[in-house]
Amino acid sequence: MHSSLRSRLVSLAVALWAVSACEVEESAPAEAPRSAPSATVVTLHPTAPGPRHREVLPDWDIGVGFVRIPPAPDGPPGTAAADTFPILAEPRTDAPLVARAFHREWQLEIEAARPGLVSGALEVGYEETALPVLETGVGGPWLRVSYAFDSAGTTVTGWVDGTDSAVETVSWTSWLANGAFFFVEADSIGFYEEPEGPILTLALEPGQGTQRFDYTLYDIRTQGAWMQVRIASPSDYCVDDATSDASVVAAGTTAWIRFLDEEGRPRIWYHTRGC
């Protein structure tokens, strides 16, 4: 997705949200369950609903993992304990507050000191959202997260204390260790006989519409930035076996793919809402 389209999407989100902005400010959210570390009083503004889905912005930098308020183990999708965590301007506890992420038992919401922003929460599961972690290990436990987009579509970032009891930090290496996947960019599709090994040439079933190929990758195991997968083409994901067409790729065909790039960003993605 080009930056110009990203800008248009973000601008549209801001415009739609602005219609109800006055109502939002009149009904200010309840006091946060946890207080910000800074004694300075900061006025926070609701963020407009954001893109949420990586498919909308394929070039979205979703980092090396994500942070979230842990979901309720027995609750419906998207629910979590009412809690909050601060997002600071710098990786230190006395830094200015720039935003806060919070749950009122349904969906992760973002409020920011800077007005006119669009939420940068990413959907990682059915009705489950989180904030991408762009950088880790700075000054110990600090995590640099992207929490919003501005009107130009530029990512807005801040710092979260990884030791905060309200947050759960998850790496893409562990999160993507089990599931059904596809490459984010069709041009990046590549199969190998082994990690760093010879290229494996496979012909995939042509897709329909904007989908160049019809396939699904099922993980078998991971090795560093590499993943061994079983390939189904055409895709058999959420397809009744009785009505499936003959497979272009021989049943049981396996290959290795590079599922993380050189910076640890995922090159693959998945259907967050299942079938």
pLDDT digits 0-9 by tens, 224-235? 999 999 999 999
- Whether residue 149 is found in the same domain as residue 233: no
Residue 40 region by backbone torsions, left for phi larger than 0, else alpha for psi between -120 and 50, else beta: beta
274 located within any domain: no
| CA–CA dist 160, 176 (Å, integer) | 23
- Whether residue 72 is found in the same domain as residue 93: yes
| CA atoms lying within 13 Å on the CB side of residue 197 | 13
Residue 8 region by backbone torsions, left for phi larger than 0, else alpha for psi between -120 and 50, else beta: alpha
**Judging by DSSP bridges, how do beta strands 128-138 and 122-125 pair with one another?**
antiparallel
Which residue reads 């902005």 in tokens?
21
User: Which of 111, 135, 170 is the last residue before a domain boundary?
Assistant: 170
- Whether residue 161 is found in the same domain as residue 183: no
pTM: 0.82
Q: What is the predicted pLDDT for the residue at 31? A: 44
Q: Residue 265 carries which DSSP code? A: -
Residues 6+ apart with CB under 8 A from 241: none
- Whether residue 218 is found in the same domain as residue 163: no
The closest of 135, 149, 186 to 50, measured between CA atoms, is 149
- Whether residue 228 is found in the same domain as residue 159: no
Most confidently modeled range among 39-43, 54-58, 108-112: 108-112
Contact 131, 144 (CB under 8 A): no
275 located within any domain: no
The closest of 115, 3, 124 to 57, measured between CA atoms, is 3
- Whether residue 105 is found in the same domain as residue 184: no
User: 58 pLDDT band (50/70/90 cuts)?
Assistant: confident
Structural domain count of the chain:
2
- Whether residue 215 is found in the same domain as residue 188: yes
In this prediction, residues 244-271 reach a mean pLDDT of 86
Assigned token pair, 248: 């272009």
Query: Which one is predicted more confidently, 147 or 33?
Result: 147
| CA–CA dist 10, 14 (Å, integer) | 6
User: 245 pLDDT band (50/70/90 cuts)?
Assistant: low
User: Which of 125, 140, 170 is the last residue before a domain boundary?
Assistant: 170
- Percent of the chain past pLDDT 90, that is, above it, reads 65
User: Which of 123, 149, 170 is the last residue before a domain boundary?
Assistant: 170
32 located within any domain: yes
- Using CA atoms, how far residue 195 sits from 77, 179, 228, 264, 265, in Å, is 36, 20, 9, 16, 17
- Using CA atoms, how far residue 172 sits from 100, 185, 248, 267, 268, in Å, is 23, 18, 30, 11, 10
- Whether residue 210 is found in the same domain as residue 241: yes
- Whether residue 227 is found in the same domain as residue 103: no
Render the burial of 37-54: b for 16+ CB within 10 Å, e for the rest.
eeeeeeebbbbbebbeeb
255 located within any domain: yes
Predicted confidence (pLDDT) per residue in 157-193, tens digit: 999 999 999 999 999 999 999 899 999 999 999 999 9
| Confidence check: pLDDT of 81 > 70 | yes
Domain region containing 154 = 3-170
